[in-house]
């Protein structure tokens, strides 16, 4: 029977137990013993769930982030943190969040940078390096978890990040060459091997996910050298890669001196046979055949057809696993009692994925017959998905076939449109606006909850929201903003809200996935053709516009962002699904326009994060992503002004694609990077209106007017003042009115000063 194992289990807990324990601990409502007890309880429960596996992961559990754990394991804690008083746990959370919990004087310190883990929505804390960074082994936490697992009767396989990926994912703050640190780092890895040897484990999983990215010769060589220098002793090493194809790193990965290789047989299926050919005969091959990134039930019969010949060839050298850590999927489908039963039967969360793995292994061992019943159930569920009327909508398909290229293009170019729009809006130079949401007060969240629980009826809820909208507009008017918004108080989340109003989407109740630290997201499930049965935002937008003579922006989430922040069907290309989303958004745009909303913002916060891991694939993604945005936005009259918003400052490398979207105005996050973004304009002249963010909404700090003036003057050196807007970096929903009001007031004041300076 092929050995089955797991690369990592979701740590947050089926009921988000870890989140609540962490937040209680940070608020000093529980002590560190209570936090550690919750953590140990979760580990124990999760190992129990994984008990049918031959090897269970240890070290995948983390109180905040596994890369941060690695920095502590390697003794790589920046001096600004290590020099402060307090124990290790305090230092840990200082580096994670910029402040120690339970610290009476609560000294704040710069937190480590958060960045996306490859192309997932999980964020890790970026390791920091300097030329003279020194490492030292600090293995007690990992060792005690190994002992914990072994005493509970599990066959523990510790999981660590490999030395090359650890270096690659970090940042050399002084610009030094990170690879210079490798020899020293390897010494610590070798000490780690020694320590693990004594713990009695047989296998160690070393993750080197950077093997699926483009590596230059220097890094490829470093791999070979490093792995030859590792003194593994009796410990067997499984080298794990995931998220993509190895491509030109394939040979390298096969030949590194380790005892086994794990590859992602979902995303790199086409490489499996090559790897089988190249992998030396003494090595184990672990195939990640169950999708660790998505929530669809696997086709076990098809997998058996695929695996049976491989198993014949590899015999006990074949291992099976999910494609990557299950960190990226929710814990247990059995909690989902509100899903339609057919949709429910099409899904598998972490617990179900492990059961699929067990079923696969048993069927490979004993043949399919004894498992007939389970295999039949699996086949039936998949058949019901294929046959379901819910997943195909002939009207949507026909509408997509009827698309014409001119539907995605505005009638005239930006300059001509801008003149028409200006004669209508008569906006001042440096117009001021916001990104959409305003503080989501306790009251707003409470009303939404009561409404969801049916303790507030439709009428009462509507009146509540109308009051909120009026309040939000009054505030904006008295602050003196030029283009207003309704405030988005009806939305819990910019993707979930739209998913609730679109056909083809389902929502889970407990489908939480960790985004960073204690933050989780609950991506909606896009299972079928997307259609918009009726207008979604028009009533609110119309209501808001009726309260004021200033223009109020209609607010929508764009197709690419809806796609990138959902669990998306896997039975057709993502680009196709995105076009359906685009069509639905387009209908909403046109309805808003018909209702007299003359400025419409279509947020594409997540456009950049959909970029493939390899640059060679970028242009393909950008082509369809941009064309989907254009389809959603560009059907309007010249007099309607389209805005879009993006939340990232690394803009340079995709500037042309962003320009090709042809929005009249783009607002973008920039304030933290001091307008560094604008350097991109030296190479490429962005042709349309742009609002570089001047208020860092992630910080409680209130920007001064002269600071904003200085930032905007910097911007005006690169972009003609006539095309500049003044706005915050992003939505204000996580801030309090006490912060937002003075910040926006300073912003309006700054705009006044700028107008005086530029006319
Ligand atoms: N319109 C949204 C808001 O203001 C945009 C949020 C985002 O970019 N993440 O909240
Ligand atoms: Zn944003």
* C-alpha 738 – ligand 1 centre gap (Å): 20
Is residue 673's pLDDT more than 80? no
What are the percentages of helix, strand and coil residues in the chain, rounded to 5? 50, 15, 35
Distance (Å, rounded) from C-alpha 667 to C-alpha 435?
A: 8
Q: What confidence tier does 523 reach under pLDDT thresholds 50, 70, 90?
A: very high
Closest-CA residue, ligand 1 atom 3, reads: 731
Distance 561 CA to ligand 2 centre (A): 11
Distance 265 CA to ligand 2 centre (A): 34
- Region 97-126: mean pLDDT is 83
Q: What is the pLDDT of residue 435?
A: 98
Residue 300 near residue 357, CB atoms below 8 Å:
no
DSSP string, 518-545: TEEE---EEEEEEE-SS-SSHHHHHHHH
729 pocket-lining for ligand 1 (C-beta < 6 Å): no
**318-322 β-sheet, strand order:** 3-4, 318-322, 284-290, 260-264, 236-240, 203-207, 156-161, 56-58
- Return the bridge partners of 320, or none: 4, 287
Q: What pLDDT, on a 0 to 100 scale, did the predictor assign at position 700?
A: 82
Q: How is 648-703 classified by DSSP, letter by letter?
A: -S--GGGHHHHHHH--SEEEE--GGGTTGGGGHHHHS---SEEEEB-S-TTSS---
**Phi, psi (deg, nearest 5) at residue 260:** -170, 160
Mutation test residue for ligand 1: of 121, 494, 498, 693, the one with most atoms within 8 Å of CB: 494
Q: Which protein residues have a CB closer than 5 Å to ligand 2 (ion)?
A: 605, 647, 730
* pLDDT at residue number 545: 98
Furthest-apart CA pair in the chain: how many Å? 83
Q: Bridge partners of 262?
A: 240, 286
Residue 102 confidence (pLDDT): 64
Helices (H) and strands (E) in the chain, counts: 28, 22
The residue nearest atom 9 of ligand 1, judged by CA position, is: 605
Q: Does the pLDDT of residue 192 top 90, yes or no?
A: yes
| Angle, CA 226 vertex, CA 203 and CA 81 arms, to 5° | 85
pLDDT tens by residue, 547-575: 999 999 999 999 999 999 999 999 999 99
Residue nearest to atom 7 of ligand 1 (CA): 605
Sort residue 243 into left (φ over 0), alpha (ψ -120 to 50) or beta.
left
Average pLDDT score over residue span 708-718: 95
**Residue 643's closest CA among 718, 574, 554?**
554
Task: Check: CB of residue 148 under 8 Å from CB of residue 43.
Answer: yes
Q: Output the pLDDT for position 727.
A: 98
CB of residue 604 inside a 6 A radius of ligand 1:
no
Using CA positions, which residue lies closest to atom 4 of ligand 1?
Answer: 731
pLDDT at 679: 83
With a 6 Å cutoff on the Cβ, whether 437 touches ligand 1 is yes
0.85 surpassed by pTM: yes
Indicate whether residue 558 lines ligand 1 (CB < 6 A).
Answer: no
Q: Are 21 and 120 in contact (CB under 8 A)?
A: no
Residue 671 has pLDDT above 80, yes or no: no
- Ligand 1 atom nearest to CA at 435: 4
Per residue in 424-442, pLDDT tens? 999 999 999 999 999 999 9
User: Residue 161: in which H helix or E strand, if any?
Assistant: strand 156-161
Please compute the mean of the pLDDT values over residues 633-653 and round it to a whole number. Answer: 91
Q: Are 729 and 701 in contact (CB under 8 A)?
A: no
User: What atom of ligand 1 comes closest to residue 645's alpha carbon?
Assistant: 8
**Average of pLDDT values for 749-759?**
96
What does the pLDDT look like over 677-686, one tens digit per residue?
788 888 888 9
Structure tokens belonging to residue 167? 């270096």
- Please provide the DSSP assignment of 430-485 as one string: S-B---SB----HHHHHHHHHHHTTSS-HHHHHHHHHHHHHHHHHHHHHHT-SSB-
Which of the four pLDDT bands, split at 50, 70 and 90, describes residue 110? confident
pLDDT band at 649 (very low <50, low <70, confident <90, very high): low
* pLDDT digits 0-9 by tens, 283-302: 999 999 999 999 999 999 99
Instruction: Annotate 179-215 with DSSP letters as a single string.
Output: GGGHHHHHHHHHHHHHHHHHHT-SEEEEE-GGGGS--
Contact residues for 561 (Cβ-Cβ < 8 A; gap 6+): 494, 495, 603, 604, 605, 606, 607
H helix or E strand, kind and range, residue 599:
strand 599-603
- pLDDT for position 682: 84
Residue 104 pLDDT > 60: no
Report the C-alpha dihedral over residues 47, 51, 54, 58, rounded to 10 degrees.
Answer: 0
Alpha-carbon span 108 to 101, nearest angstrom: 10
Question: Any idea which of 73-87, 96-110, 362-376, 616-630 has the lowest mean pLDDT?
Answer: 96-110
Ligand 1 within 6 A of 486 CB? no
pLDDT tens by residue, 454-513: 999 999 999 999 999 999 999 999 999 999 999 999 999 999 999 999 999 999 999 999
Backbone angles phi, psi at 293, to 5 degrees: -110, -10
Ligand 1 pocket residue status of 485, Cβ below 6 Å: no
Distance from the alpha carbon of residue 244 to the mean position of ligand 1, in angstroms: 30
Whether ligand 1 lies within 6 angstroms of the CB of 555 is answered as: yes
Of the chain, the percentage scoring pLDDT greater than 90 comes to 92
Residue 285: its pLDDT value, please?
A: 98
Q: How close is the Cα of 669 to the center of ligand 1, in Å? A: 11
The helix (H) or strand (E) run that includes residue 155 is none
Q: Give the per-residue pLDDT at 103.
A: 63
Mean pLDDT of 169-189: 96
Local confidence band at 699 (pLDDT 50, 70, 90 cut-offs): confident
Ligand 1 pocket test target in 438, 599, 731 with most atoms within 8 Å of CB: 731
Residue 731 Cα: closest atom of ligand 1: 4
Residue 107 has pLDDT above 80, yes or no: no
Rounded mean pLDDT of 440-450?
Answer: 96
Q: Which of 444, 488, 490 to mutate to test the pocket of ligand 1 (most atoms within 8 A of CB)?
A: 488
For 233, other C-beta atoms within 10 Å of its C-beta total 12
| Average pLDDT for 317-338 | 98
Q: How far apart are CA 664 and CA 553, in angstroms?
A: 13
- Indicate whether 577 pLDDT > 90: yes
434 CA from centroid of ligand 1 (Å): 10
Vertex 744: Cα angle to 740 and 745 (nearest 5): 115
Q: Which atom of ligand 1 is nearest to the CA of 647?
A: 8
Instruction: Give percent of the chain with pLDDT exceeding 70.
Output: 99
Angle value at C-alpha 477, between 472 and 478, nearest 5 degrees: 100
**What per-residue confidence (pLDDT) applies to 683?**
84
Catalytic residue among 486, 698, 704, 707: 698
- Alpha-helix residue ranges (DSSP H) falling in 291-393: 300-314, 341-345, 350-366, 372-387
Distance CA 628, CA 606 (A): 14
How far is it, in rounded angstroms, from Cα 512 to Cα 341?
20
From the CB of residue 225, how many other CB atoms can be counted at a distance below 10 Å? 13
pLDDT in tens, 29-59: 999 999 999 999 999 999 999 999 999 999 9
Q: With a 6 A CB cut-off, is 436 part of the ligand 1 pocket? A: yes
Using the atom order of ligand 1, give the atom closest to the CA of residue 601.
1
Q: Write down the mean pLDDT value for the chain.
A: 96
Rounded CA gap, 211 and 14, in Å?
32
Rounded to a whole number of angstroms, the CA Rg of the chain reads 27
Annotated active-site residue 471? The verdict is no
- In DSSP terms, which residues pair with 437 in a beta bridge? 487
């Amino acid at each position: 029977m092929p050995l089955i194992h797991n690369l990592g289990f979701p740590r947050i807990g089926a009921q988000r137990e870890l989140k609540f324990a962490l937040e209680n601990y940070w608020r000093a409502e529980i002590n560190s013993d209570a936090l550690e007890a919750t953590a140990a309880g979760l580990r124990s429960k999760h190992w129990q769930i994984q008990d049918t596996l031959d090897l269970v992961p240890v070290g995948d559990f983390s109180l905040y982030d596994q890369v941060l754990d690695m920095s502590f394991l390697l003794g790589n804690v920046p001096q600004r943190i290590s020099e402060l008083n307090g124990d290790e746990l305090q230092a840990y959370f200082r580096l994670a969040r910029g402040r120690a919990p339970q610290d009476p004087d609560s000294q704040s310190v710069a937190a480590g940078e958060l960045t996306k883990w490859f192309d997932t929505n999980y964020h890790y804390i970026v390791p920091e390096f300097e030329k003279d960074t020194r490492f030292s082994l600090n293995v007690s936490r990992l060792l005690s978890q190994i002992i914990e697992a072994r005493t509970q009767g599990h066959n523990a396989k510790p999981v660590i990040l490999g030395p090359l990926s650890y270096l690659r994912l970090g940042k050399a703050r002084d610009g030094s060459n990170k690879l210079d640190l490798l020899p020293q780092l390897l010494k610590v890895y070798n000490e780690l091997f020694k320590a693990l040897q004594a713990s009695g484990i047989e296998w160690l999983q070393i993750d080197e996910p950077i093997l699926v990215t483009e590596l230059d010769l220097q890094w490829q060589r470093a791999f070979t050298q490093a792995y030859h220098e590792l003194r593994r002793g009796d410990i067997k090493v499984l080298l794990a890669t995931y998220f993509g194809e190895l491509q030109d790193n394939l040979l390298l990965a096969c030949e590194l001196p380790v005892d086994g290789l794990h590859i992602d047989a979902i995303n790199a299926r086409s490489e499996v046979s090559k790897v089988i050919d190249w992998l030396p005969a003494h090595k184990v091959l672990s195939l990640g055949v169950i999708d660790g990134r998505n929530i669809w039930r696997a086709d076990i019969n098809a997998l058996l057809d695929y695996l049976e010949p491989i198993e014949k060839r590899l015999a006990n050298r074949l291992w099976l696993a999910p494609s990557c850590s299950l960190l990226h999927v929710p814990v247990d489908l059995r909690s989902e009692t509100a899903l339609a039963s057919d949709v429910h039967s099409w899904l598998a969360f972490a617990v179900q994925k492990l059961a699929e793995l067990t079923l696969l292994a048993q069927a490979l061992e004993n043949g399919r017959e004894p498992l007939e019943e389970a295999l039949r159930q699996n086949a039936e569920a998949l058949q019901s998905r294929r046959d379901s009327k819910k997943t195909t909508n002939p009207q949507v398909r026909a509408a997509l076939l009827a698309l014409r290229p001119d539907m995605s293009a505005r009638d005239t170019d930006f300059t001509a449109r801008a003149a028409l729009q200006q004669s209508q809006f008569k906006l001042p130079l440096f117009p001021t606006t916001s990104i959409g949401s305003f503080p989501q007060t306790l009251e707003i969240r409470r009303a939404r909850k009561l409404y969801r629980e049916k303790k507030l009826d439709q009428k009462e809820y509507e009146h509540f929201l109308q009051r909120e909208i009026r309040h939000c507009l009054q505030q904006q008017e008295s602050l003196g903003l030029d283009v207003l918004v309704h405030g988005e108080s009806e939305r819990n989340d910019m993707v979930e809200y739209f998913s609730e109003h679109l056909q083809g989407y389902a929502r889970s109740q407990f489908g939480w996935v960790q985004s960073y630290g204690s933050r989780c997201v609950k991506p909606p499930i896009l299972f079928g053709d997307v259609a918009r049965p009726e207008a979604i935002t028009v009533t609110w937008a119309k209501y808001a516009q009726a309260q004021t003579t200033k223009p109020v922006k209609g607010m929508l989430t764009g197709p690419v962002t809806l796609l990138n922040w959902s669990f998306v069907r896997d039975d057709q290309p993502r680009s196709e699904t995105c076009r359906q989303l685009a069509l639905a958004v387009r209908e909403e745009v046109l309805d808003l326009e018909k209702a007299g909303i003359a400025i419409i913002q279509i947020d594409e916060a997540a456009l950049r994060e959909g970029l493939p891991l390899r640059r060679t694939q970028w242009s393909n993604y950008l082509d369809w992503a941009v064309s989907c945005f254009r389809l959603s936005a560009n059907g309007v009259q010249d007099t309607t002004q389209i805005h879009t918003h993006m939340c990232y400052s690394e803009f340079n490398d995709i500037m042309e694609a962003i320009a090709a979207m042809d929005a009249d105005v783009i607002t973008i996050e920039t304030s933290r990077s001091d307008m560094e973004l604008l350097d991109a304009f030296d190479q490429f002249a962005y042709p349309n209106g742009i609002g570089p963010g001047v208020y860092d909404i992630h910080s409680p700090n209130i920007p001064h007017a002269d600071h904003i003036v200085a930032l905007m003057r910097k911007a005006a050196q690169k972009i003609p003042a006539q095309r500049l807007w003044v706005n915050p970096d992003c939505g204000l929903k996580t801030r309090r009115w006490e912060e937002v009001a003075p910040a926006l007031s300073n912003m309006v004041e700054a705009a006044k000063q700028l107008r005086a300076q530029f006319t």
